[in-house]
Amino acid sequence: MSPPNDETIRWRRIAVPAYGPTILVSVGSGAILPLVALSARDLGASVGIAALIVALIGIGQLVGDLPAGALAARIGERRALIAACLLDAAALLGAFLAKSLILLGVAVFVAGLAGAVFSLARQAYLTEAIPIAQRARALSTLGGTSRIGTFIGPFVAALLVTHFGLASAYGFAAVMSLAAAVLTFLLPDLNAGTRAPVTVRRSVWSVLAEHRRTLATLGTGVLMIAAARATRQSIIPLWAESVGVDAATTSLIFGVSAGVDMLLFYPGGAIMDRFGRVWVAVPSMIILGTGFILLPFTHDTLTIGLVAALMGLGNGISSGIVMTLGADASPPGARAQFLGGWRLFADLGNAGGPALITLITAFGPLAAASFGLAGLTLAGSAWVARWVPRFAPDRHVVSLSKDAS
């Protein structure tokens, strides 16, 4: 999709087509994520196999990142979004009907593939539809709506499971994905008719090879950001359990942290648009690193909750940072292909961060893992401080965009 002819486009024109499907899919995803391991256990899986079934979601996203870029480039972001929603609905229906671990595993893996396509297509869509001066706020809001949906989903699932059983959550999530597909189909494509003719369709690999320096520098920084954010979600419950905090209280701690997180997505985007991406990227990493340092010194619900809230602050202000930096670095005419590689870096961080906890705790205590993650996160803040400004949008272009809007 090419940028719209009217540079004064306002968010109200894209609010429903851009954010509506995201909320629906996120509510469905939030409903099933806490239940996948339980479903596997009900089907006879051991704890290790249940963990593997859960991991298939992330594995599916990793496998799907590069093909998602090729697909979106070939058929367009809007069609890719519809296809992703339909594929996700089919996968969730399979999970709803699953009577074996193999079928459940395949369904979860396919849902991960669909998630890769959906995430890339919505990012590419907003990158084209929004002027540069409003880009960070738009993408931060996208990240915020996803957080809100994921926050709501488990409460809906709890109600459904109580009355209709575990499988009902998958049925509900499938309906949400179908609704997102219908919503995307019924709403007009804001950029219809503005796509420039494509004389040469570039492959994903050729685009990534051309921009390998960007991926090796800024992409590595994004990998570090993603790893720090993902490990936060893993290490807090592990530490809480190690000091004797029960599961219900740990959930409450997460709820408070998520509340802080959700409140800050728009301010973070506003700071990025007004002062630059580095003024969010670096402080968020420093805050997360500080949280990792403080966590081993906590010993009860209150102190763990305070550290979790602090880390929620760091995570919240950085909402949309990965998508914004990817949008800034993506080349016009080959955005989808580039973003496929970009999301692969981010998803490697999402998967690799928690794996570091496993690696470090194999040789030392959990506190050592927290300190080690602190060191890596703070080193990542220095790396981000070095490279983010070098790929910042041209300030003259941003100024012209502001004047136009």
User: Domains of the chain: which residue ranges?
Assistant: 1-193, 203-405
CATH architecture of 203-405: Up-down Bundle (1.20)
Fold match, 1-193 / 203-405: yes
Note the pLDDT tens digit of each residue in 332-363. Answer: 888 889 999 999 999 998 888 888 888 888 88
- Tell me the average pLDDT across 291-320: 92
Where does the pLDDT of residue 190 fall: very low under 50, low under 70, confident under 90, or very high at 90 and above?
low
Map residue 62 onto helix, strand or coil.
Answer: helix
Whether the pLDDT of residue 394 is over 80: the answer is no
Which H or E element spans position 132?
none
Write down the pLDDT at residue 225. 94
Whether the pLDDT of residue 192 is over 60: the answer is no
Map residue 286 onto helix, strand or coil.
Answer: helix
Whether the pLDDT of residue 119 is over 80: the answer is yes
Euclidean distance between CA atoms 213 and 95, whole angstroms: 41
User: What one-character DSSP code corresponds to residue 226?
Assistant: H
Euclidean distance between CA atoms 132 and 324, whole angstroms: 10
Euclidean distance between CA atoms 218 and 64, whole angstroms: 21
Whether the pLDDT of residue 22 is over 70: the answer is yes
Burial of 291 from C-beta contacts in 10 A (0-12 / 13-18 / 19+): buried
Note the pLDDT tens digit of each residue in 267-276. Answer: 999 999 999 9
Whether the pLDDT of residue 302 is over 70: the answer is yes
* Most distant CA pair in the chain, distance: 63
Superfamily for domain range 1-193: MFS general substrate transporter like domains (1.20.1250.20)
Assess contact for 236 and 366: CB atoms under 8 A: no
Euclidean distance between CA atoms 46 and 39, whole angstroms: 11
Whether the pLDDT of residue 194 is over 60: the answer is no
Euclidean distance between CA atoms 292 and 377, whole angstroms: 9
Q: Which of 130, 127, 124 is nearest to 6 (CA)?
A: 130
Map residue 191 onto helix, strand or coil.
Answer: coil
Where does the pLDDT of residue 191 fall: very low under 50, low under 70, confident under 90, or very high at 90 and above?
low
Whether the pLDDT of residue 242 is over 70: the answer is yes
Write down the pLDDT at residue 104. 94
Indicate the angle between helix axes 47-75 and 101-129, nearest 10 degrees. 40
Where does the pLDDT of residue 266 fall: very low under 50, low under 70, confident under 90, or very high at 90 and above?
confident
Note the pLDDT tens digit of each residue in 133-147. Answer: 888 888 988 888 888
100: left (phi over 0), alpha (psi -120 to 50) or beta: beta
Least confident of 67-76, 167-176, 204-213, 389-398: 389-398
Q: Which of 185, 150, 174 is nearest to 30 (CA)?
A: 150
